């Protein structure tokens, strides 16, 4: 790993942590949410939202230049990329949530030269994951709601061609690979209102394709993201948490 790439990863991680720290400090920590019952409402709600942040590469990088018979490929994959994720969380109870997520990370560009034609495309990774989340303080009135999660799913990688000097994009100019692997991580949720919450999420994705994809197999990475989510309840008429305790 080059020093420049390592520096980029460190700066992205620091930026993500600084952003969430500023976000959290913007809202007071409250022991009781009597007025709106934010924590209680949060612990009974489904979630629908999106996250945006950084992909930090922990795997390999292909050579800058790959030579084939009658073809030459130049790669520009990097160790730090943007990562976007959409997700839906189904609340099983106050402590457990089942989350389905679809992510996307553009790892970099590839230029393929062959038959007097030059094609330019991107290498994109799509994690499609199902994970179980455990909220560690869900039975309290603490506004910060830390969680851990584990699960797995399909990791799909695709190298596609967007532009060709010949004006024609051939199927041979594209390749893809897919494999099933696990994932795990943790984060913090912060209810901002009865229907909105903020989210810090750190996810480890040990992607190791069984076949070579753009000259390498190892695409392991960590996603560090900030998110916003819409909350909606699915249980009614149970009474408040304090009433149940009484």
- pLDDT value at residue 35: 41
pTM (2 d.p.): 0.79
Domains in the chain: how many in total? 1
- pLDDT value at residue 118: 82
Q: Tokens at residue 149, please?
A: 């999660």
Query: CATH number of the domain that 180 lies in?
Result: 2.40.160.20
- pLDDT value at residue 145: 94
Q: Tell me the pLDDT of the chain (246 aa) as tens digits.
A: 444 444 455 555 555 555 555 455 444 444 444 444 788 889 999 999 999 999 999 999 998 887 877 778 888 999 999 999 999 999 999 999 999 999 999 999 888 887 777 888 899 999 999 999 999 988 888 889 999 999 999 999 998 877 666 666 555 667 899 999 999 999 999 999 889 999 999 999 999 999 999 889 999 999 999 999 999 886 554 445 544 444
Answer for the pair 9, 56: CB distance below 8 angstroms, yes or no: yes
Distance (Å, whole) CA 103 – CA 201: 13
- pLDDT value at residue 141: 82
DSSP secondary structure letters along 72-130: EEEEEE-SEEEEEEEEEEEESSSSEEEEEEEEEEEEEEEEEEETTEEEEEEEEEEEEEE
CB-side neighbour CA atoms (13 Å) of 90: 6
Q: Tokens at residue 184, please?
A: 């795990």
Domain residues for 128?
3-245
């Amino acid at each position: 790993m080059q020093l420049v790439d390592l520096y980029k990863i460190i700066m992205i991680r620091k930026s993500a942590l600084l952003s969430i720290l500023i976000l959290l400090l913007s809202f007071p920590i409250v022991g009781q949410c009597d007025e709106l019952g934010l924590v209680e409402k949060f612990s009974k709600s489904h979630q629908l939202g999106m996250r945006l942040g950084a992909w930090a590469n922990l795997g390999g990088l292909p050579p800058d230049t790959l030579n084939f018979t009658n073809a030459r490929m130049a790669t520009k994959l990097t160790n730090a990329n943007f990562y976007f994720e959409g997700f839906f969380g189904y609340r099983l109870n106050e402590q457990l949530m089942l989350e389905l997520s679809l992510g996307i990370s553009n790892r970099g560009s590839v230029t393929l030269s062959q038959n007097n034609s030059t094609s330019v495309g991107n290498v994109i990774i799509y994690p499609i994951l199902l994970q179980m989340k455990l909220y560690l303080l869900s039975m309290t009135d603490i506004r910060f709601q830390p969680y851990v999660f584990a699960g797995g799913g399909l990791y799909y990688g695709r190298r596609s061609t967007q532009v060709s000097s010949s004006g024609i994009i051939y199927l041979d100019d594209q390749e893809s690979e897919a494999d099933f692997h696990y994932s795990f991580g943790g984060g913090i949720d912060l209810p901002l209102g009865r229907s909105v919450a903020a989210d810090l999420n750190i996810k480890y994705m040990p992607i190791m394709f069984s076949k070579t994809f753009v000259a390498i197999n190892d695409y392991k990475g960590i996603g560090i993201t900030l998110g916003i989510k819409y909350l909606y309840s699915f249980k009614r008429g149970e009474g408040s948490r304090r009433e149940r305790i009484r």
